[in-house]
Amino acid sequence: MFSTAFLDLPPFVAAAGTVRLPGSKSISNRVLLLAALAEGTTTVHDLLDSDDTRVMLDALRALGCGVELTTGSTVRIHGLNGQLHTPQATLFLGNAGTAMRPLTAALSLLGGDFELSGVPRMHERPIGDLVDALTQLGCQIDYLGNPGYPPLRIHPVAPAHLTLDAPIRVRGDVSSQFLTALLLALPLVAVRDITIDVVGELISKPYIEITLNLLARFGIVVQRDGWQRFTIPAGSRYRSPGEIHVEADASSASYFIALGALAASGGALRIEGVGAESIQGDIRFIEAARQMGAHVESGPNWLQVARGAWPLKAIDLDANHIPDAAMTLAVMALHADGPSTLRNIASWRVKETDRIDAMAAELRKLGAMVEDGPDFIRVHPLAAADWRAARIKTYDDHRVAMCFSLAAFNPAGLPVRILDPHCVAKTFPDYFETLFTVIDVPEVPVICIDGPTASGKGTLAVEVAHELGYHYLDSGSLYRVTGLATRRKGLEPEPAYEAEIAALAETLPLQFVKGKVLLDGEDVSDAIRTEAAGMDASRVSALPAVRAALLALQKRFRRLPGLVADGRDMGTVIFPEARLKVFLTASAAQRAERRHKQLISKGISTTLDSLRADLEARDARDSSRSVAPLKPAQDARRLDNSQLSIAQSVEQVLNWWQETQPFKSS
């Protein structure tokens, strides 16, 4: 997951390959709650691991439910059998509607004292219609903030005091989750038939199908009269199915379906974990994508997508049945042959953010003309000349972030900046990493930081990489590791062994993991940092065959979303086309002092004078060697950090990087 302030996506040109998507949020949280209410143990396979499921799992644990995390994405839930072990809890439910609404209903009926709260936006998302329905039953719920919204306090009520004989009326026109919550919870008290009447036009209907389907898997067969009346038969009891598999998330699939529809070439994009037979209503996104021209094939638990019509065909769609996935259509609409309209989407206004406003504002930043109203959005196509490189605000809404990643696919070849990319953690923490496995870009960004020994380039490069979410290549350590591997093989770092050392370098089993350098899995970070190892590194790096062998290895580090490479010849030899090259220097006195401190802190004794003499000798050798001598690239920016703090150097490099980007501040 990217926890950076922003993530820059270079322009995409093609997409191909296979993605396996994480589990459905809607199924995961329903299954967790049902398993917790049921008798017996339920093993849940392929459970989504994200913010929304984490708050549900934490809540279940706080209620005394046994939650066993087994291998990978499998979780074992030991059901409460309708009996609370802990009838008192304060639960934080983040921004998970699928936790807040169903838990409110279940806890109101289970009897106990509970406080339910969430993130500030959750306290702006309505729950009044559900509370009204529960109050008709005799439940006691107080609003702790604004009436009609969380946070809530739930008081215990004896089952005998519940009024179950009259139909329970619930409004369905703000969120279907209120009806889902009642359907999931009422079997707890089904001593007689319990009827729910839906008032107003029910929205997001396919989510009710998911609820009914999963209730049936847990032994509860709800009788229904269309979308108006639902009856839970007397004597209904949750029975664990023992094992249950969670399908991949159909809404998450929409971003990859769209990508397949947009990508010009590169072959088809295969999506695994969900197919057209899914129980999730959002799978009907594929009908809309096909209508716009996408080629979508499907089989058991897979989809395959390729570009069909181009430009895409404009669409005019009542998108009430696919409220989440429909946002993706709004970005596809930029490539259509006319304006596209998504209708009947008023519920967008009460989700993670006001999604109609958010989509309209951010699409406009890209240059698009957008019309919007209380329950619709109309997006006009965007001509190549009108696209702008935008900084996309994400409003802590995972779907805004994921939708706008698709804007990196544009005919103007512009990058897109996604602010606060970590918001995808709500339902798809590794969204960007997954995206990067299937997209093709003309140029992966790279920043080179070269400079003499002990200039602080490693620290600077690590920090810059951290700020941008980029990969990091410590090329100096490649030579150090090669030097170490050379010694371990019993060879001298001399020209006489050049061929053997080059062969060794070519297949170096090297990884940089969390600031550590691993050689064949062994942490050699300290072993390669001794002065002797530095000398060996300098000697092997002067061997042309070794440099050639390490060249390909170094280039392989250049992966999305970008790379910060530090060394001596990153800008001159390895990545000469890099858009930003920094040549970092500091006075020999300063560098000797820093190195001295570093070694002392590691318990290695040395003197300042000898260090300075070594540094100067090494500088002379590195800048006079015939192969790739240490010198700034012609187009390098020089940074003397003798008088700068690390933070100031980082800021300077980031500012230079920013100057190479087309984003306007907006």
Ligand X SMILES: C=C(OP(=O)(O)O)C(=O)O
Q: Which residues in this chain contact ligand S3P in the complex, by CB under 6 A?
A: 26, 97-98, 175-177, 180, 203-204, 207, 323-324, 347
Query: Which C-beta is closer to ligand S3P: that of 176 or that of 482?
Result: 176
Indicate the SS3 state at residue 221: coil
Task: Given the residues 46, 51, 129, 324, select the one marked as catalytic.
Answer: 324
* Nearest alpha-carbon partner for 201 in 182, 225, 228, 179: 228
Spatial contact of 240 and 35, defined as CB atoms under 8 Å apart: yes
581 binds, among ligand S3P, ligand X, none (CB under 5 to 8 A by kind): none
Whether the bond into 561 is cis, omega within 30 of 0: yes
Q: Which residue in the set 96, 110, 377, 540 belongs to the binding site for ligand X (CB under 6 A)?
A: 96
DSSP letters along 91-121, please? EE-TT-HHHHHHHHHHHHHH-SEEEEE--GG
Residue 96 contact partner, candidates ligand S3P, ligand X, none, CB within 5 to 8 A by sort of partner: ligand X
Closest distance between ligand X and the C-beta of residue 95, in Å? 6
Helix 355-365 crosses helix 398-405 at what angle (to 10 degrees)?
30
Phi, psi (degrees; rounded to nearest 5) at 355: -70, -25
Is the CB of 347 or the CB of 585 nearer to ligand X? 347
- Contact region for ligand X (CB under 6 A) — 12-20, 36-44, 93-101, 640-648? 93-101
207 binds, among ligand S3P, ligand X, none (CB under 5 to 8 A by kind): ligand S3P
- The site for ligand X, by CB under 6 A, has a size of 10
Q: Is 351 in the site for ligand X (CB under 6 A)?
A: yes
Residue 471 binds which one of ligand S3P, ligand X, none, with CB within 5 to 8 A depending on kind? none
Residue-wise burial string across 442-480, b where 16 or more C-beta atoms lie within 10 A, e elsewhere: eebbbbbbbbbbbbbbbebbbbbbebbbbbbbbbbbbbb
What residue 24 binds from ligand S3P, ligand X, none (CB within 5 to 8 A, per partner kind)? none
- What's at 415, amino acid-wise? P
Give min distance, CB of 286 to ligand X, in A. Answer: 18
Binding flag, residue 98, ligand X (CB under 6 A)? yes
176 binds, among ligand S3P, ligand X, none (CB under 5 to 8 A by kind): ligand S3P
Within positions 363 to 402, which residues make up the interface with ligand X, using CB under 6 A? 399
Q: Considering the complex, what minimum distance in angstroms separates the CB of residue 94 from ligand X?
A: 9
User: Is 324 in the active site?
Assistant: yes
- CB nearer ligand S3P, residue 324 or residue 622: 324
Contact between 614 and ligand X per CB under 6 A = no
| Of 24, 176, 405, 427, the one binding ligand X by CB under 6 A | 427
User: Helices 51-62 and 97-110 meet at what angle, rounded to 10?
Assistant: 20
Question: Rounded to an integer, what is the distance from CA 167 to the centroid of its chain?
Answer: 43
The distance of closest approach from Cβ of residue 53 to ligand S3P in the complex, given in angstroms and rounded to an integer, is 12
| DSSP conformational letter for 571 | I
Q: Among 315, 317, 327, which residue's Cα sits nearest to residue 354?
A: 327
Of 379, 372, 369, give the one whose Cα is nearest residue 355. Answer: 372
Give one word for 565, left, alpha or beta, with left for phi > 0 and alpha for psi -120 to 50: beta
Helix (H, G, I), strand (E, B) or coil at 528: helix
Q: CB 291 → ligand S3P: shortest distance, Å? A: 21
The residues that are catalytic are: 324
Contacts to ligand X by CB under 6 A: 25, 95-98, 324, 351-352, 399, 427
